[in-house]
């Protein structure tokens, strides 16, 4: 992990990747990026609209392009979309260019955090609890495969999670 200056947060929706990423970036004095926000910004429309118009395949193509651009920045703390790890090229890119932190949360905590699933295309028209379980079955092994460290966010506030990540990575606060 030495020499890798980027930190990438991976994990399912509802684990707090964006909030923790922003807090972590502030603590270490690095820029922050959210890959989903970058995709939406570049497209000029929100993620649900991209899913409606292009389907998941179209969104995933845009995601690969966004990750390639974002991973070229250094230093950077980045929150990835929950499905970013589905493409082998994305997993390879993340591993090669940064330290990967898997934010894990229980199914119950995740369900509580995503609520009605509004604004989350992967949950539309589905039993949310069942869909989250299906996504977890596919994605959990991939998160674990690429993670350099795993941190649980269950019952923890954002600053505590950011501090735990810093401790695990041996980082100190920027003065």
Q: CA-based Rg of the chain, rounded to a whole angstrom?
A: 15
- The mean pLDDT of the chain is 92
Question: What's the CA gap between 169 and 98, in Å, rounded?
Answer: 12
126 pLDDT more than 50? yes
Q: Mind listing the pLDDT tens digit for each residue in 143-168?
A: 999 999 999 999 999 999 999 999 99
Across 48-69, average pLDDT: 96
H, E, C per residue of 43-70: HCCCHHHHHHHHHHHHHHHHHHHHHHHH
Lowest mean pLDDT among 10-14, 25-29, 168-172: 168-172
Give the C-alpha separation, 123 to 116, whole Å.
9
Domains along the chain with CATH numbers:
6-166 (3.40.50.300)
Share of the chain above pLDDT 90, in %: 78
pLDDT by residue (tens digit) across 78-89?
Answer: 999 999 999 999
pLDDT digit string, tens, across residues 38-55: 999 999 999 999 999 999
């Amino acid at each position: 992990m030495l020499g890798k200056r980027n930190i990438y947060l991976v994990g399912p929706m509802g684990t707090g990747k964006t909030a923790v990423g922003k807090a972590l970036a502030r603590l270490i004095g690095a820029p922050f990026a959210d890959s989903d926000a970058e995709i939406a910004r570049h497209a000029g429309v929100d993620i649900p609209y991209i899913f409606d118009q292009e389907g998941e395949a179209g969104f995933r193509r845009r995601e690969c392009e966004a990750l390639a651009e974002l991973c070229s920045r250094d230093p950077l703390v980045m929150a990835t979309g929950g499905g970013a790890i589905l493409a082998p090229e994305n997993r390879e890119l993340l591993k090669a260019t940064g330290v990967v932190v898997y934010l894990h949360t229980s199914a119950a905590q995740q369900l509580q955090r995503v609520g009605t699933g509004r604004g989350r295309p992967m949950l539309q028209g589905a039993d949310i609890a069942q869909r989250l379980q299906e996504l977890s079955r596919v994605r959990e092994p991939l998160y674990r495969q690429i993670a350099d460290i795993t941190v649980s966010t269950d019952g923890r506030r954002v600053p505590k999670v950011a501090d735990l990540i810093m401790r695990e990575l041996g980082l100190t606060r920027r003065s």
